[in-house]
Amino acid sequence: MSLLTLPVEILYHIIDYLDISTIFLSFSNVCTYLRIISKTYNHYQFDFRSISKTKFHYICQLIQPENILSLTLSDENKTPGEIRLFFSLFNIDQFTRLLSLTLLEIDEDDLNKILHENITSTITSLVINWRESHCPSQTTLTSLSSILNRLKLRKLELKTGSYAIEEMLWPVQYTLEHLILMYVTQKQYCTILRETPNLKTLTLNHCSMHKIDEYIITLSDPILYKQLTSLILTDSRMMMNELTSVLSLTPSLNYLKIISLPDSFNTISDGSHWEQFISTNLPLLHKFEFFFTNMYNVYYESRDVQLLISRFQTRFWLEEKHWYVVCDYIDYLNQTMLYTIPLCSTDFTYECQANKISYSSLLTMETDTVITENVRAINLTLTKLMAGVATMKNELSNQYLFRNLTRLTIDVDQEWSKECVEFLSKIINLSRLDKITFNPDLNPNSIHNTLNNIHILMKLAYNLSTLAIHPYSSSNDIINMEIICSMIPHHIKYLELTIRDINSMKIILDQHEQLWSLTLLASSDRSTPWSDFIDELIYRKKDFVYWQSYYSLHIWFGQTRKY
C-alpha cells in the first residue's frame, strides 16, 4: 500500500508523531499531495528548543499560525535570540487557536512586548521562564496579573530569580489545576492555595519558607486546603518544623516529593518523626519521595548510618507503605545523602562504593540499576572515580549502572588512564549521552593522556550534540586553544566554552563552522568586551542573532552569507 492511498485521517495521525523538521523538510517535500496535507493539518505542536537557525527560518516561512495548538520558544544556549526573532515575524494574536505557550529564558523586554499584545484567550497552558536570575519588574507583574485574570488556565509555570513575584496581585483562578513556581514566601503560599480552589498539583522550586510555622500561628483560624493532591518541593532549605507546618495545610495529599538541603539534617532525617507526622496529618499519602543532603559537616561511622536507617525499617515504612530508603555517607566530604528508591532526583553526584558507607532499609539491597533509573545527569570527579576503578571493575554487572543518562559532567583533575574510560563505558550507556561537560586540567605534564582519553570517550558518545569545556591549568600555563579545539568532534552542534580573549573565538570559528550555536563564558580573572566579538562575526559575514550578559555571550548561527 502506498502512503498516498491512505485516508487523510491516517496521514494526520502520522503527522501527530513527527517532529517539525521531519514534517516540513521531509514529509511535505515528497510530493504536492503531502504538501497539501501538511498545510491543512491543524494540530501542530511546535517545539523550537533544538533547531538550527537555517531550518528555523525555512519553517517560519511555511507556518500558518491558525493551525498551531502548542508553541515552545527558547533563548537557552541552543537557540539564543530565538524568541525576539520569532516575534519579529509574527504577532502573538495571529495564533488564534493556541492552547499552550512556553517561553524559556525570555528577556524582560521581550516578555513585556508579548504581554502587551492581545494574547488569545484560548490558551490553557502558560510557561514563562525568565532569563538567568532576572527579576520581573512591577510593570511586568501587573501585566501578567491582568492576563492571568483573563485567561482560563489549567497549567501555569513561572520561574524567576527572586521573590519579586510575591509583589504580583494573584487573581482567583478557578480553572487552574497545575502550578509550578519559584521563590515563594509563606504568605504567598497560603494566598495561592486560597485563590486556586481546584488546584491539584503544586511544584515549588527554591522553596525556603522561613518561620512559616510562626506565620501560621498568627492566623486566627488556619484553613485546610483539601483540593491539593500532589506537592513537590525542590531545592528546599526548610527545617522539619517548617515542613510540617506547610504540609499540615494540605491533608489530602496522595503524592509528596521533597528535595532538600536543610539547615538541620538530624530532624529531617528522622524516620520516626516522619512516620508519626504522616500517620496523623497525611492519611491519604500513597507515594512519598525524598532526597535529603546535609548542609553542614556531619561525622558518621558505620553504626551511625545503621542507626539512622533503622528508623525506616518499621512496619509502617516496609509493609504498610512500601517506601524504601538508602543512606550514603561520603567520608571524605563528611556528607550524608538520605533518599527513597528509586532516586527521585534527576541530577546526582556519583561516588563509587569504595568512597562511601551505604545502608538500605531493605534486608536485600535493590540493584543499583533500579536505584538510578530516574537519573538523567551525573557529576563525577576523576580522582575519586579512579579510586573505585580497581575495587569495582570485577564486580560490575552486565547492565549499565546509569541506563537513562543524557548529561555527564566530569572534573578532570588528574591524568586520565585508559582503565578510567573503560570503567565509564561499563557504568554509563555513553551512546545515549546528549551533553558532556568537561572541566579539564590542561597541565602540560598530563595533557597527552588527557587528550587521548577524551578522544576515546568522544567516539563512544557518538550521539553527542552538546559539548561544554571549562578548562584550567594547575601549572598556571596559558591554555592552548588549539588543544581545546582538538577535543571537539565535528558532529557537535552546540558548544559552550570558557575563553580568555577574542583570538580564542577566531580559532573556534575557523575550525568548527558546523556549529549551530556557541556560548562563550569569560574567564573569571578578566572582563571581556563582547562588542569586539560581535564585530568579528559581522566582519566574517556571519548570519547570527545573540544575547549577552556581563560574563557571557550566546550566539545562534545561520548559514554564512556568500558574496
pLDDT at 393: 59
pLDDT at 44: 95
State the average pLDDT over residues 448-457. 83
State the average pLDDT over residues 417-446. 85
Determine which helix (DSSP H) or strand (DSSP E) holds 298, and give its type and residue range.
none
* Res. 413: pLDDT tops 80: no
pLDDT at 363: 72
Can the peptide bond before residue 342 be classed as cis, meaning omega within 30 degrees of 0? yes
Can the peptide bond before residue 262 be classed as cis, meaning omega within 30 degrees of 0? no
CA dist 173 and 131 (Å) reads 26
* Res. 347: pLDDT tops 70: yes
* Res. 6: pLDDT tops 90: no
Convert the pLDDT of each residue in 122-142 to its tens digit: 999 999 999 876 778 888 888
pLDDT confidence tier of residue 28, bands split at 50, 70 and 90: confident
E-strand stretches of 175-315: 178-182, 201-205, 230-236, 255-260, 287-293
* Res. 410: pLDDT tops 50: yes
Sequence-distant (6+) residues with CB within 8 A of 459 are none
Q: Which of 451, 510, 514 has its CA nearest to residue 483?
A: 451
* Res. 394: pLDDT tops 60: no
CA dist 117 and 131 (Å) reads 20
Average pLDDT of every residue of the chain: 87
More confident residue, 291 or 132: 291
Cell numbers representing residue 193 in the block: 492555595
pLDDT at 280: 96
pLDDT at 408: 95
Sequence-distant (6+) residues with CB within 8 A of 36 are none
* Res. 72: pLDDT tops 90: yes
Tell if the pTM clears 0.75, that is, is over it: yes
Convert the pLDDT of each residue in 216-270 to its tens digit: 656 656 688 999 999 999 988 888 888 888 899 999 999 999 998 887 888 899 9
Percent of the chain with pLDDT over 70: 91
pLDDT at 563: 40
298-302, 386-390, 435-439: least confident range: 386-390
Question: Residue 281: exposed, middle, or buried by beta-carbon count in 10 A (0-12, 13-18, 19+)?
Answer: middle
CB atoms within 10 A of CB 354: 12
* Res. 561: pLDDT tops 60: no
* Res. 449: pLDDT tops 50: yes
- Asked if 431 and 460 count as a contact pair (C-beta separation under 8 A), the reply is yes
322-336, 475-489, 502-516: least confident range: 475-489
More confident residue, 440 or 388: 440
Convert the pLDDT of each residue in 532-550 to its tens digit: 899 999 999 899 999 998 8
Convert the pLDDT of each residue in 155-210 to its tens digit: 999 998 777 777 777 888 889 999 999 888 877 888 889 999 999 999 998 877 65
3-state helix, strand, coil in the chain (%, to 5): 35, 25, 40
pLDDT at 266: 86
Q: Residue 301 — φ and ψ, nearest 5°? A: -110, 175
Cell numbers representing residue 435 in the block: 551533553
pLDDT at 215: 62
- Asked if 407 and 429 count as a contact pair (C-beta separation under 8 A), the reply is no
* Res. 526: pLDDT tops 90: no
State the average pLDDT over residues 283-287. 98
Determine which helix (DSSP H) or strand (DSSP E) holds 536, and give its type and residue range.
helix 530-539
* Res. 476: pLDDT tops 70: no
